[in-house]
Structure 1
Amino acid sequence: KLGEGWSLVPSWEPKDQAGRRKQFTHVPMLVAEQPGAELELEFSGTAIGLLEVAGPDVGILEYSVDGAPPKQLDQFTEWSERLHIPWAYMLEAELEPGDHRLILRTTDKKNEASGGHAIRIVQFLAN
């Protein structure tokens, strides 16, 4: 379930001059660029993660699984300043087997080297 602030971009490409991996351009991505965008995902398994593109404008996410206290994730990598780099993050890896609910939101926080609050999801990783 997508809240306000999210869009499915059918053929994403960077708007800046930072480097990119050609296999991760002109592909569909779930994108939010402003703080406060929230989504909800129901999944089955014992783990949940994200395959995303972590570029110069990614922010700090907040997420919660099954109503647990929120955790934060700084998406900015050591290469993000100059590259839209594909990156996988495991949010939770030791859940009880079964059905779960992920709440994910963008925040107004960011790495001091980042230029924004974006997230670009290529795939959810559930196991």
Structure 2
Amino acid sequence: MFTGLLVFVIGITFFIGSYYIPLLENQALQSSLVLTVVIIPAAILGAIFYYRKSNPTYCLLLGLILFLIAGILDTLITVPVFIIQESGNHFDFFINLWFWSIGLKYVLSVWIYSILRPKQTISM
């Protein structure tokens, strides 16, 4: 799904990009904080694109599906390419509370946008 890929690319770009602008001593914490902030507008942008192109999906289900896509892409790309090189592994990545906190913000952002978004009306 293009929407899930779009949000993933935005998120991973900011997550990895934050390592190149060191503001905190703990750069892993810094990248998680950056992603925590960026995921909200990225998720909303993804929901906007989804609703422009597709039939409405139950809003919470859409958020969960998009988060599942991000999790699959994290499994296939993020962890092998970026995390394992820094002595991490899949298990530590997926039990990290930051992952689940960001995921919750992702799902809630899509859900809230889906509820509050302007509804399309059919005019005759």
TM over 0.5: no
User: Which protein is richer in helix relative to its size?
Assistant: 2
How high is the TM-score relative to the length of structure 1? 0.32
More strand by share: 1
Larger relative contact order (C-alpha < 8 A, sep ≥ 6)? 1
